[in-house]
Chains A and B, each alone.
Chain A
Amino acid sequence: MATTVVGQPLSRVDARRKVTGAATYSAEHRVGGLLYGVIVNGTVARATVSRISVDAALGHPGVLHVLTDFGSLRLAHPVDRIAFYGQPIAVVVAETLEAATHGASLVEATYERQDAVTDFDDPDAPSQTPADEPDYSRGDPAGALGSAQVKVDLELTSARENHNPIELPSTIARWQDGRLTLWDKSQWAQGAARTVAGALGIAVGDVRVHNEFLGGGFGSAIQAYDHVILAAFAAREVDRPVKVVLTRRQFFYGTGFRPASRHRIALGSTAAGRVNALVYEVRIENARYQSYTDGLTDLPQFLYGVPNTRTAYRVTPVDVHSPCSMRGPGVVLGNFALETAMDQLAHELAVDPVELRMRNEPTQDEVTQLPFSTRKLRECYETGARRFGWSRRRAEPGSRTDGDLLIGMGMATASYHNNRRDSSARARIHADGTAEVFAASADMGPGTTTSVMQVAADALGLPASAVTFRLGDSSYPTAPLHAAATTMASVGSAAHTTCNALKAEFIRRAVADTDSPLHGANPADVHVRDGYLSAADGGARDSYRDILRRAGLPSLDITGNWGPGDADSRISSYGYGAVFAEVSVDPLLGLVRVRRIFAAYDVGRVISPKLARSQAIGGMVGGIGMALLEGTVTDHRDGRIVNVSLADYLVPVNADVPDLDAAFVNTEDPQADPIGVKGLGEITIVGVAPAIGNAEFNATGKRLTDLPIRPEALL
């Protein structure tokens, strides 16, 4: 029995390059004649710029240009006025970063201010129903809630969050003969090429984007924001390559964010714990210039078998820049509301929280009325509860202590749609028997370079050491955005499909070639292992190398496509998980500390177990931040963001990250895609915050509904 490369716990193929500094990130590329661009940000939320004085900046040695007229550009926001605090108003271009930075501080703008509202709780900020999120209803939710034997009705909030990857947004732009090359920290090279081409009014084919390495993204680098466009614009204006790297302060204004949210969720249940009514109303902040919605209502609508359900999604446009996807977009917050309410319901029913969820397992997707492709959620509950030690939990809040500390356990369900998109790949086998696979994907940290290679190696019948997956170049075959837990299922399936086709082409050549030992064999009987082709009856064999040598070819390649087609109209394919958390609470000081988290996931087939576990614990770290630490603070007097540094915007540090682990329920989802995977990147943050919050409730008996949970809530 041949061992497969898929399923092996490989380390990242680029691990050594990353830890030794040999991996070249966007800002690190050496480009001859490079200039440095520094963006000047506006300091009002709503205004027109009446005057910009640039003389002092231009007078500073090393400063070459100050660009202030963006009128020719198509940006996501208005260019003729200020629509949010921090909007770019100028770019200073200089021979050194220091000169550009100082020059930028010398640019002075005069504004004609208008009244601005940046607080989406302001009564002067009306809410809207977004066009893509109409109200949803099934059954008779109001009636069922009214007549329910047990009711839970909660209001919850969450703070705005910024992604804060370690690598800051950075772009190098170089023009040559009217064609633009960008080295950009991007989760989507082809999307960036389109956006920049559109913004500058040039052909997409004239833009090439390189993004081989990313130092984290979490959604902040899906879109090509102003700095990317302005780098390209400045490089064109000054006719030299220009690099723009945002500062951490600028990051908070220069990319999107997870919008702050307000929720109301009501559950109605029978005394036996059958949830028969669910009402979920949610509202988020939005920019005025652009509508943004995400998956808030997804899980409240579909996760449990609730016959009577209503959801209502509202957005409140204010004078801020636009939110964007951040890990688990929307889903993570809708799930926070749902799973907090389920925990409260379990408490009021005196039913174990896991048992309550089991009792409300649906038999089909009640939103689409489609069968589930795979849904191993019961196995997740059982595996997770066993491995975590859930049976040691005491239902009565406040009944476990450790010295001065209260100890609590909580859990939450996680789920995330198995997103797949059309994807292409090119596979090539060289005369030396090694292979390369190409796709315009990216690897912001999950290890895509490694995991797609594993899929390709098995499809080609080659060992891992002989196969390289190349990504990070918009000129490679089409790949979807590296986000929304889409990449493995989509790019992986495209690699699988294409590599199988290439292998078939070699087999076809071998059996048709009179010089091949396999001449005349039935192609269906030919297998490839370690680059050798052999027929089922053994004996005679050929090889990729020999086939190429005989054909006189340096290599042979093929480009193939894969897409989900209409699968989502036939099946409901989601990833699932059960997240368990233990916390300590210091009741005197109000401190909630996570002690451990364990989660069991059904994410289909696990391609690369070591990297999958890393993904899982990374998502949990993000969830700890969301639950206890992260929150972007806006001063609504003028719209400035206050905590614009990693000292003031708190993400977990090592001391906050205790014993985290995950298990994967052994399964695959063959209906979803040919490699049987479901997305993993997003689901790992889902369920973490409510599991922590529910553990806090179990420790103290005090239901906290505002994220992040901070000491003042418990004092």
Chain B
Amino acid sequence: MHPFAFSRVSTVTAALNAGARYGRYIAGGTTLVDLMRETVERPAHVVDINGLPYKDITVTRQGLHVGSLVRMSELAAHPEVRATYPLLSQALELGASAQLRNMASIGGNIMQRPRCPYFRDVHSACNRRDPGSGCDARHGDNRMQAILGTSTHCVATHPSDLAVALVALDAVIQVRGLDGTRSIPVQDFFLRPGDTLQDEHSLRPGEPITSLTVPAGAHTRRSGYLKVRDRQSYEFALASAAVALDIRGGVVRGARVAVGGVATVPWRLPKVEEALVGKRPGRRTWTDAAALAAEGAVPLSENAFKVRLVERTVRRQLMTIGGQ
């Protein structure tokens, strides 16, 4: 771990001032501290924002509003979230471990950095960690890497389950800067590894996430998250599917489908959704739509199985949520 200074703030103004100067906030610390230990992250100054007031969960007819400092376990256990947004509860509870969920904040969860082992090994080439150094993962141990949204620069999957659920539910992220607040649709928040691949998200330096909102809708109650992985807990996804369906009168009126574990960002599947809307629920509908889940996939030497796996993960979750 590189030496660093540490300060604690209790007002938004103090946080913004500190953030403008130093840039790195810490809440639960479950990602940042790990990465600092591995010297992947080397902030000179860490600003503890746990004293800020972003800790409320509000459920209204318009939707769900969650402060960025709410803990994963807290949001997952919230009775109205459980009843009205089961997808969120499930995505949260299938992530990490109980201990981590008690520490990790919602804002920090979606800010997780890649889980790629090469990213975490400072003696390897990684464009995320050291832009321009190359990508050792692409032709290395790539079983866990992405098949969608990749580039020659980076093939790391986005690790957050919650983010997949948020993308499916069209969440909006609120951030605060020195010149006021702004809202970013979650779809635009996560950036694919393009030419400026060191930018994983569209936050500006020193901007803390203050909250996120999830709009209400007929689909949120009929929703859920399936996470497929080698072991049954405490592991990142090989493939996952967030599905929310609005089925009325024997017809799929609305469909939200996103996948994780297979893409460099939480991956919405508009073509799968189009193939569902207007159809009658049933095995045939689910299977046909799910067959589109891996469209555009570019598999690597050891992860071609993810093409079939993500299709089947979506199919299974459509069956689970939509009924057979």
Chain A residues in the interface with B (C-beta under 8 A) = 43, 98, 101-102, 105, 249, 404, 588-591, 593, 628-629, 633, 635, 637, 640, 642-645, 647-648, 650, 652-656, 708, 710-712, 715
B246 sits at the interface (CB 8 A): no
Chain B residues closer than 8 Å to A105, beta-carbon distance = 2, 39, 122
Report yes or no: B1 in contact with A711, Cβ–Cβ below 8 A. no
B315 sits at the interface (CB 8 A): yes
B176 sits at the interface (CB 8 A): no
B78 sits at the interface (CB 8 A): no
Report yes or no: A589 in contact with B2, Cβ–Cβ below 8 A. no
Chain A residues closer than 8 Å to B3, beta-carbon distance = 98, 102
Report yes or no: B232 in contact with A655, Cβ–Cβ below 8 A. yes
Residues A102 and B315 in contact in the complex (CB < 8 Å), given A647-B115, A650-B235: no
| Contact residues, B1-34 vs A (CB, 8 A) | 1-3
| Contact residues, B295-324 vs A (CB, 8 A) | 305, 308-309, 312-313, 315-316
Chain B residues closer than 8 Å to A637, beta-carbon distance = 136, 139-140
B231 sits at the interface (CB 8 A): yes
The CA of A339 and the CA of B41, in the complex, are separated in Å by 48
Report yes or no: B123 in contact with A43, Cβ–Cβ below 8 A. yes
Report yes or no: A650 in contact with B231, Cβ–Cβ below 8 A. yes
The CA of A644 and the CA of B121, in the complex, are separated in Å by 9
A519 shortest CB reach to chain B, Å: 66
Chain A residues closer than 8 Å to B262, beta-carbon distance = none
Additional 15 contacts, C-beta under 8 A, given A249-B38, A642-B118, A647-B234: A102-B1, A105-B2, A589-B309, A633-B141, A640-B121, A643-B141, A644-B121, A647-B115, A653-B231, A653-B232, A653-B233, A711-B228, A711-B238, A715-B308, A715-B309
B179 sits at the interface (CB 8 A): no
Chain B residues closer than 8 Å to A648, beta-carbon distance = 117
B112 sits at the interface (CB 8 A): no
Partner of A656, one of B118, B231, B313: B231
Chain A residues closer than 8 Å to B308, beta-carbon distance = 715
Offer 20 A-B interface pairs, CB within 8 angstroms, sorted by A. Answer: A98-B3, A589-B228, A589-B316, A628-B231, A629-B230, A633-B141, A637-B139, A640-B124, A644-B117, A645-B117, A645-B120, A647-B115, A650-B230, A652-B231, A653-B233, A656-B231, A656-B232, A712-B309, A715-B305, A715-B312
| Contact residues, B94-142 vs A (CB, 8 A) | 115, 117-118, 120-124, 136, 139-141
Report yes or no: B230 in contact with A654, Cβ–Cβ below 8 A. no
The CA of A653 and the CA of B231, in the complex, are separated in Å by 8
Report yes or no: B309 in contact with A711, Cβ–Cβ below 8 A. yes
Interface centre among A98, A633, A711 (most CB of B within 10 A): A711
Report yes or no: A635 in contact with B2, Cβ–Cβ below 8 A. no
Chain A residues closer than 8 Å to B124, beta-carbon distance = 640
Report yes or no: B233 in contact with A101, Cβ–Cβ below 8 A. no
Chain B residues closer than 8 Å to A640, beta-carbon distance = 121, 123-124
Partner of B313, one of A589, A645, A650: A589
Describe A's contact surface by its main secondary structure.
loop
What is the chain B residue whose CB lies nearest that of A712?
A: B305
B133 shortest CB reach to chain A, Å: 14
Partner of A593, one of B2, B232, B305, B309: B232
Number of A-B contacts (CB under 8 A): 82
Chain A residues closer than 8 Å to B123, beta-carbon distance = 43, 640
The CA of A640 and the CA of B122, in the complex, are separated in Å by 12
The CA of A588 and the CA of B239, in the complex, are separated in Å by 13
Give per-residue flags for B211-226: 1 if the beta carbon is below 8 A from chain A beta carbons, else 0: 0000000000000000
The CA of A417 and the CA of B118, in the complex, are separated in Å by 42
Interface centre among A589, A628, A655 (most CB of B within 10 A): A589
Chain B residues closer than 8 Å to A43, beta-carbon distance = 123
Partner of A591, one of B120, B141, B228, B236: B228
A390 shortest CB reach to chain B, Å: 25
Report yes or no: B309 in contact with A643, Cβ–Cβ below 8 A. no
The CA of A629 and the CA of B233, in the complex, are separated in Å by 12
Chain A residues closer than 8 Å to B141, beta-carbon distance = 633, 635, 642-643
The CA of A644 and the CA of B140, in the complex, are separated in Å by 15
A324 shortest CB reach to chain B, Å: 23
Report yes or no: B230 in contact with A635, Cβ–Cβ below 8 A. no
Report yes or no: A590 in contact with B234, Cβ–Cβ below 8 A. no
What is the chain B residue whose CB lies nearest that of A101?
A: B1
Chain A residues closer than 8 Å to B139, beta-carbon distance = 637
The CA of A404 and the CA of B121, in the complex, are separated in Å by 40
A146 shortest CB reach to chain B, Å: 39
What is the chain A residue whose CB lies nearest that of B235?
A: A650
The CA of A647 and the CA of B159, in the complex, are separated in Å by 12
* 9 cross-chain pairs, A with B, having the tightest CB-CB distances, nearest first: A712-B305, A655-B232, A655-B233, A642-B141, A43-B123, A642-B117, A653-B233, A633-B141, A635-B140
Report yes or no: B121 in contact with A588, Cβ–Cβ below 8 A. no
The CA of A656 and the CA of B312, in the complex, are separated in Å by 22
B146 shortest CB reach to chain A, Å: 16
Report yes or no: A629 in contact with B231, Cβ–Cβ below 8 A. yes
Residues A643 and B117 in contact in the complex (CB < 8 Å), given A101-B1, A590-B309, A711-B238: yes
A403 shortest CB reach to chain B, Å: 11
Report yes or no: A711 in contact with B2, Cβ–Cβ below 8 A. no
What is the chain A residue whose CB lies nearest that of B319?
A: A404
The CA of A711 and the CA of B307, in the complex, are separated in Å by 13
Residues A635 and B233 in contact in the complex (CB < 8 Å), given A105-B39, A589-B316: no
What is the chain A residue whose CB lies nearest that of B324?
A: A404
What is the chain A residue whose CB lies nearest that of B38?
A: A249
What is the chain B residue whose CB lies nearest that of A654?
A: B233
Residues A647 and B235 in contact in the complex (CB < 8 Å), given A102-B2, A711-B230: yes
